[in-house]
Amino acid sequence: MSELKQLGRYEIVRVLGSGAMGIVYEGLDTSLNRQVAIKTIIKSALVDSEQAADYSKRFMREAQAVARLNHANIVTVYDFGEEGDVAYFVMEFIQGNELKQFIDSGVRFSLSKSLGLMIKLLDALDYAHSQGIVHRDIKPANIMIDKAGKLKLTDFGVVKFVDSQEGTQAGTMVGTPGYMSPEQILGTSVSPKSDIFAAGVVLYQLLTGQKPFTGDGVFAIQQKIVNEEPPPPSSIDANLPPIFDQIISKALAKKPEQRYAHASEFAEDLKRCLSLDASQQSEATPGLTGAAQQADEKTVVTASGSRQAAEKTVVTAKGSPQAIEKTVVTSAVKSGAEEVKAEDVSLDKFLEERAKLDALFADKFTKFITVMFTDLKGSTTIAENEGDLVSRMLIKHQNDIVMPAIKDNNGIFVKSIGDGTLSYFENALDAVRTAVRIQKGMDALNMSKIFRFPVFMRIGMHSGKCVVEEHDIAGDVVNTASRFESAADGGGILLSEDTYNALSDKSEIYCRFVKQVTLKGKKEPFNAYKAFWNPQEIELDKQGKTAEASRDAVAVPAKSPGGKLVWGIAVAVIILLLVFATKFFGSPTTHEESRHSISDSTAPADKSDIQR
- Going across the sheet that includes 151-153, the strands are 96-98, 143-146, 151-153
Q: Is 273 domain-assigned?
A: yes
Claim to verify: residue 272 and residue 178 sit in the same structural domain: yes
Range of weakest confidence among 193-197, 476-480, 524-528, 590-594: 590-594
Where residue 193 falls among pLDDT bands split at 50, 70, 90?
Answer: very high
Claim to verify: residue 121 and residue 73 sit in the same structural domain: no
Going by C-alpha positions, the residue among 143, 226, 223 that lies closest to residue 183 is 226
The arithmetic mean of pLDDT across residues 434-463, rounded, is 93
Q: Is the pLDDT of residue 603 over 50?
A: no
Give the 3-state secondary structure of 129-159.
HHCCEECCCCCHHHEEEECCCCEEECCCCCC
User: Could you please report the per-residue DSSP string of 432-470?
Assistant: HHHHHHHHHHHHHHHHHTSSSS---EEEEEEEEEEEE-S
Range of weakest confidence among 53-67, 108-122, 218-232: 53-67
The arithmetic mean of pLDDT across residues 474-490, rounded, is 89
Q: Is 269 domain-assigned?
A: yes
CATH code of the domain in which 180 resides? 1.10.510.10
Total tally of structural domains belonging to the chain: 5
Out of 137, 155, 245, 498, which one is annotated catalytic?
137
The arithmetic mean of pLDDT across residues 250-278, rounded, is 91
CA trace torsion 148, 149, 154, 160 (10° rounding): -130
For the chain, give the number of residues: 612
pTM of the model: 0.47
Claim to verify: residue 312 and residue 375 sit in the same structural domain: no
Choose one of 278, 301, 316: the last residue of a domain: 278
20 by Cβ neighbours in 10 Å (0-12 / 13-18 / 19+) ranks as: exposed
For 143-187, write each residue's pLDDT tens digit: 999 988 999 998 775 555 554 444 444 334 456 789 999 998 888
For 302-331, write each residue's pLDDT tens digit: 333 333 333 333 333 333 333 333 333 333
| CB contact at 8 A, 513 and 477 | no
CATH code of the domain in which 51 resides? 3.30.200.20
Q: Which of 129-133, 151-155, 219-223, 493-497 is modeled with the greatest confidence?
A: 493-497
Q: Is 353 domain-assigned?
A: no
Q: Is 355 domain-assigned?
A: no
Claim to verify: residue 122 and residue 184 sit in the same structural domain: yes
Claim to verify: residue 438 and residue 587 sit in the same structural domain: no
Which residues, including other chains, have CB under 8 Å from residue 357's CB and lie 6 or more apart?
none
Q: Is 356 domain-assigned?
A: no
Q: Is 545 domain-assigned?
A: yes
Claim to verify: residue 545 and residue 578 sit in the same structural domain: no
DSSP 277: H
For 233-242, write each residue's pLDDT tens digit: 999 999 999 9
Claim to verify: residue 427 and residue 518 sit in the same structural domain: yes
> Can you tell me the distance from the alpha carbon of 565 to that of 475, in angstroms, rounded to the nearest whole number?
48
Claim to verify: residue 315 and residue 405 sit in the same structural domain: no
pLDDT of res. 409: 94
CATH code of the domain in which 372 resides? 3.30.70.1230
DSSP 12: E
Q: Is 357 domain-assigned?
A: no
Choose one of 92, 119, 139: the last residue of a domain: 92
| CB contact at 8 A, 234 and 243 | no
For 485-526, write each residue's pLDDT tens digit: 989 999 999 999 999 999 988 889 999 999 988 877 677 889
Choose one of 29, 64, 92: the last residue of a domain: 92
CA distances 110 to 97, 286, 529, 591, Å, are 18, 18, 49, 116
> Can you tell me the distance from the alpha carbon of 164 to that of 180, in angstroms, rounded to the nearest whole number?
20
Judge whether 344 counts as a catalytic residue: no
pLDDT of res. 351: 63
For 53-105, write each residue's pLDDT tens digit: 566 666 676 677 778 889 999 998 898 888 887 888 898 999 999 999 999 98
| CB contact at 8 A, 431 and 370 | yes
Average pLDDT, the chain: 76
Where residue 408 falls among pLDDT bands split at 50, 70, 90?
Answer: very high
Which residues, including other chains, have CB under 8 Å from residue 439's CB and lie 6 or more apart?
457, 459, 491, 492, 493, 533, 534
Claim to verify: residue 256 and residue 313 sit in the same structural domain: no
Share of the chain above pLDDT 70, in %: 67
Claim to verify: residue 381 and residue 405 sit in the same structural domain: yes
- The angle at the Cα of 575, spanning 553 to 577, to the nearest 5 degrees, equals 95
Q: Is 358 domain-assigned?
A: no
**Range(s) of the domain holding residue 323:** 286-334
Claim to verify: residue 532 and residue 582 sit in the same structural domain: no
Claim to verify: residue 403 and residue 479 sit in the same structural domain: yes
Q: What are phi and psi of 481, to 5 degrees?
A: -60, -40
